[in-house]
Amino acid sequence: MPNRTLLIAGNWKMNNDVAEAAKLADELAQALPEVPAGVEVLVCPPTIDITTVHDRIQAAPIALGAQNVYWEAKGAFTGESSCDMLKSAGCTYCIIGHSERRDYFHESDEDQNKKAKALVAGGIVPVFCCGEPLEVREAGTYVEHVVAQVKAGLEGLELASADQLVVAYEPIWAIGTGMTATADDAQEVCHAVREALVELFGAEMADGIRVLYGGSAKPGNIAELVAKPDVDGALVGGASLKAADFSEMVVKAAE
Helix (H) or strand (E) holding 213, with range, is strand 210-214
Q: Report the helix count and the strand count for the chain, using DSSP H and E.
A: 11, 8
Single out the residue of 39, 6, 36, 16 nearest to residue 243, CA to CA.
16
Asked if residue 112 lies in contact with residue 128, where contact means CB atoms within 8 angstroms, the answer is yes
**Catalytic entry in 40, 98, 107, 132:** 98
Residues contacting 16, CB < 8 A, separation 6+: 24, 45, 46, 49, 241
In residues, how long is the chain? 255
Residue partners of 44: CB distance under 8 A and separation at least 6:
9, 10, 11, 12, 64, 65, 66, 67, 93, 94, 95, 127
List C-alpha distances in Å: 248 to 31, 32, 76, 172, 253: 9, 10, 43, 24, 8
Does 72 qualify as catalytic in the annotation?
no
**What count of other Cβ atoms lies within 10 Å of the Cβ of residue 19?**
10
Let me know if 170 is a catalytic residue.
yes
The one catalytic residue among 40, 100, 132, 170: 170
| Residue 41: its H or E element | strand 39-44
Catalytic residues: 98, 170
